[in-house]
Amino acid sequence: MRTTSHIRRATLALSVISAILAPTTPALAAEPPPRADLRADVDRDGRVDVAGATDDAGEDTWTPARGAVVLPNVDDDTKRCPTTDPRGRPLPDARLAACNDASDTQVNGTPDAADLARVRSVPMKGLPSSAVGTLRVVGGAKNTRVFVRRAGGWAWVNATTRLTAAELRAGAEFGVEVTDVVRDPALWGGRSVLRLTVTSGGRTTSDDVTLRAAPLLTHHHLQSARQMLVTKVAGTDDFARRQQAFVRGLEAEARAAGVTAPLFTFDRYQDIWAQDFVEPGYVSMTGPGGHRQVIRVMLRSAQPDRESGRELFERLRGKGIGVVQVSGVRESEEWTLNSMGNLETIPPYTHAGRSFPAGRIIMGERKDDGSKPARAMRTLLQAQGFQDPLLLDTSWLHVGHVDEFVQFLPAPGTPRGWRIGVADPEAGLRLLRDAQKAGHGGTRMFSVPGAKDLPAPRETIDQALASKWLVADNTMAAQRIRANLEVLKRETGVTDAEVVRVPALYTRGTEHGERGDRVPRLTRLGAGNVPESVSEYGQQKRLAREGGRATGPGQAVMTSAYVPGAVNGVLLGQDRYLAPKQWGPVIGGEDVFTAAVTAAYVRAGLKVSYIDDWATYHLGMGEVHCGTNTLRDASAAWWQR
């Protein structure tokens, strides 16, 4: 017979067994191990959000509008890069280009490491002291360098680096740079993938984030001028004095337009075509604290034998300024098309389903024979993914540069914000014909004063219009410009109402040797070589620069500016334009070309001033734009319009 005590003991035993077999309640469950969580500045606000979710979504992808950005750290913040070897001999171009802030394993420059993109790990609370972490670059490792912030400063993260449990509990901060701009997507498309791996208690957890190299972008004319670049020629001869006067005049004009930074003057190689051996560009991201972090990148022309490009490394490179040059340029690729006067940028636009928030590059090609700018340069520019180069036909131009006939002008208050300016040869011919009809055919075509070493052309308006070349050449030029304008209108949506037509005239050159080559320093016309006609004047211009021979049978007709090309000037301010002095026919005390050019720009909302470039640039088949360069504001976000 069971007693009460027996029943109690049995009940207690059953209770114990039930407790053992029952599932653990949530309140008593063990805490799950912390999960590795790596964050980058996906929303590009300059702050890595480790507390919320603003930088969580999309961290493994990248689009033009969203995704973490990292700078190609190609400047030289501490000026540590040498330009000569230990014996004082100039370094080869490849050695010059190989050194920059990303070419070592140190964080160069200021302690805040502003050129480094920030990546953080979300604090892993409760992580045991035995836990250990690693950070690896699992995509783009060859082009990516990572540093971790520690008490002693920034330490390079390599294969032996371990993150302690204390660092992981607090949340680690990393700084990331890439070692180059994107050059060829087939080799590297700009993406860097970082992986944080944490091992604790025999368990491993990991997380990835993706960053992309900031695109190398060229400037457009809606960005305000910040500094002018020009070549200073040493000496006391006539040419040097004229060039020195040009430099002084440019400095005064820039100051009057509100450009406060002093001129930067190239002076080592006497290459007066400062537009042609470099294209200023920039890379940028939103840096720590939300400010825009910018590195200016000087893109050297794809002309490896053009010595003047070395000065970019030797003198211009430094804090916040880097230099990039391409390699693998083929000898068959036409030299003159690789000058940077043959690279201009359409301001930002959206049309026909395509958007270019940072603007779009234009370059000239010779469709008549298929010549194009160097493939290596075109590949690099296209690889940036933002300014897809558009090729225009410059077959009809002796030098072959787009800046000889087209420009882009600010137009505040208009839907697009800019207009296209084009040279108008038909308007130039009308000016001469109107003057002739008014009885001024005997007026000298050019009012430029002569000098003993550089006599002025003597032809009259009548003689110019009677030339068998002038009318034909300008009719041809007008047709070619119209065809290019149609391409621009189709690609951008610009209408005729948004086109500024600037009077111009062209005269023929000739295909000879390395056509269109600009020598660093213009060879002057000798005394007594006074052009008597349009044909002689055109030939004198070509011979002055090339030292070539006159036009021969079967040679292609190509032209250069007859009257100094007004569109080949410099936008100094959003309402200030600097054009080459026209030196046209003076009738009734007024230069008719100056008056017409001024009227065209004034209608477009610009105040025009003029600078004399006749002997320095015009006779060398270039103008003010060809002889100068401009660093422009780069503070705006390139992914926004």
62 and 90 together in one domain: yes
Cβ neighbours of residue 382 closer than 8 Å, sequence gap 6 or more: 388, 389
Q: φ, ψ for residue 457 (rounded to 5)? A: -60, 150
CA–CA distance, 71 with 214 (Å, rounded to integer): 5
Closest by CA position to 232, among listed 201, 264, 262 = 264
CA 633 to centroid of chain Cα atoms: 12
Q: Are 272 and 626 in contact (CB under 8 A)?
A: no
CATH number of the domain that residue 190 is part of: 2.60.40.1700
431 and 557 together in one domain: yes
414 and 529 together in one domain: yes
182 and 222 together in one domain: no
Q: Is 4 helix (H, G, I), strand (E, B) or coil?
A: helix
Q: Which of 178, 213, 248 is the last residue of a domain?
A: 213
Indicate the pLDDT class of residue 610, thresholds 50, 70 and 90.
very high
How many domains are there within the chain?
Answer: 2
Q: Does residue 105 lie within any of the structural domains? A: yes
Closest by CA position to 597, among listed 564, 574, 570 = 564
553: burial class by Cβ within 10 Å (0-12, 13-18, 19+)?
A: exposed
Indicate the pLDDT class of residue 451, thresholds 50, 70 and 90.
confident
Q: Are 583 and 564 in contact (CB under 8 A)?
A: yes
**From the CB of residue 441, how many other CB atoms can be counted at a distance below 10 Å?**
18
Range of the domain at 276: 217-632
Q: Does residue 595 lie within any of the structural domains? A: yes
Q: Are 133 and 167 in contact (CB under 8 A)?
A: yes
pLDDT value of residue 332: 63
Q: Does residue 152 lie within any of the structural domains? A: yes
Handedness of CA 218, 244, 335, 318 (dihedral sign): negative
For the stretch 301-349, pLDDT in tens is: 999 999 999 999 999 999 999 999 999 887 666 789 999 999 999 999 9
For the stretch 415-440, pLDDT in tens is: 999 999 999 999 999 999 999 999 99
91 and 73 together in one domain: yes
How would you list the strands of the sheet with 418-424, edge to edge?
406-410, 418-424, 499-503
HSE of 486, CA atoms in CB hemisphere, 13 A: 7
CA–CA distance, 563 with 579 (Å, rounded to integer): 12
246 and 350 together in one domain: yes
Q: Is 112 helix (H, G, I), strand (E, B) or coil?
A: coil
CA–CA distance, 334 with 370 (Å, rounded to integer): 10
Q: Does residue 261 lie within any of the structural domains? A: yes
Q: Are 113 and 154 in contact (CB under 8 A)?
A: yes
Task: Report if pTM > 0.95.
Answer: no
Q: Percentage of the chain surpassing pLDDT 70? A: 87
| Residue with the two structure tokens 């370094």 | 91
Closest by CA position to 385, among listed 69, 58, 101 = 69
Q: Does residue 316 lie within any of the structural domains? A: yes
Q: Does residue 267 lie within any of the structural domains? A: yes
CA–CA distance, 209 with 55 (Å, rounded to integer): 10
Sequence letter at residue 353: G
205 and 240 together in one domain: no
CA–CA distance, 146 with 490 (Å, rounded to integer): 45
Indicate the pLDDT class of residue 34, thresholds 50, 70 and 90.
confident
HSE of 42, CA atoms in CB hemisphere, 13 A: 19
Cβ neighbours of residue 479 closer than 8 Å, sequence gap 6 or more: none
pLDDT value of residue 391: 98
CA–CA distance, 452 with 590 (Å, rounded to integer): 26
Cβ neighbours of residue 410 closer than 8 Å, sequence gap 6 or more: 221, 222, 347, 417, 418, 571, 574, 575, 605
CATH number of the domain that residue 522 is part of: 3.75.10.10
226 and 178 together in one domain: no
Q: Which of 167, 189, 213 is the last residue of a domain?
A: 213
Token reading at 236: 């006391």
193 and 221 together in one domain: no
Closest by CA position to 551, among listed 514, 517, 516, 510 = 510
181 and 234 together in one domain: no
Q: Which of 213, 243, 260 is the last residue of a domain?
A: 213
Task: Look at 116 and 4; give whichever has higher pLDDT.
Answer: 116
Q: Does residue 639 lie within any of the structural domains? A: no
Q: Does residue 24 lie within any of the structural domains? A: no
Average pLDDT score over the chain: 89
For the stretch 105-152, pLDDT in tens is: 999 987 789 999 999 999 999 999 999 999 999 999 999 999 999 998
406 and 435 together in one domain: yes
pLDDT beyond 80 at 25: no
173 and 282 together in one domain: no
